[in-house]
A = this chain, B = another copy of it.
Amino acid sequence: MSKYSRVLLAVDLTEDCRHVAEHASILAQLYNAQLHIVHVIEPQSLAYGDEIPMDLSSLHQAIYDQAESFLRELSQGFDIPRTRQHLAFGRIDTEIRRIADEKDIDVIVVGSHGRHGLAILFGSTLNGVLQKATCDVLAVRVGD
């Protein structure tokens, strides 16, 4: 199948992702495709083992609230309905692929940093998505 029916926009919480979102939105419009959006929270708990101090729980709640608020606001700007907004927890690349599989996504749209500081970190996530995704991936250049 060479035409896309379902597009998944994967975002972090930076301002750069608005540029990536614009690309995904235009792509979805031109292909007359459904646009989904996902943000993945990497649990801080991974760094602390099973025992999480109480004050970290409230920190987690704050992180969740902030992520949800950002996701809702961004989605609204691009007319993405609540049923297509996905907030996930875990490894970023694994969760993006899981949502892509569950929602039968044809193409994942992600931001791709260049040579600035986040390149290696993000590159590794992008590679994880690219090498194991069963669908296409559009890397949108941001930053630099």
Write the residues of chain A forming the contact surface with B, with a CB cutoff of 8 angstroms: 2-3, 19, 22-23, 26, 30-31, 107, 112, 114-115, 119, 123, 126-127, 130-141, 144
A134/B127 contact (C-beta < 8 A), A19-B2, A30-B31, A31-B30 known: no
CA distance A111 to B140 in the complex (A): 16
Which residue of the partner chain, among B2, B127, B137, contacts A26 with CB atoms under 8 Å? B2
CA distance A23 to B131 in the complex (A): 19
Counting every copy of the chain, the complex holds 2
A-B complex: 6 closest residue pairs judged by Cβ atoms: A30-B30, A2-B22, A137-B139, A138-B138, A136-B140, A2-B23
- Shortest distance in angstroms between A2's beta carbon and chain B's nearest beta carbon? 4
- Shortest distance in angstroms between A7's beta carbon and chain B's nearest beta carbon? 12
CB-nearest residue of chain B relative to A141? Answer: B136
* A/B interface sample: 21 pairs, CB < 8 A: A2-B22, A2-B23, A3-B26, A23-B136, A30-B30, A30-B31, A112-B130, A112-B137, A114-B134, A115-B132, A123-B127, A126-B130, A130-B139, A134-B141, A134-B144, A136-B138, A136-B139, A136-B141, A138-B138, A138-B139, A139-B139
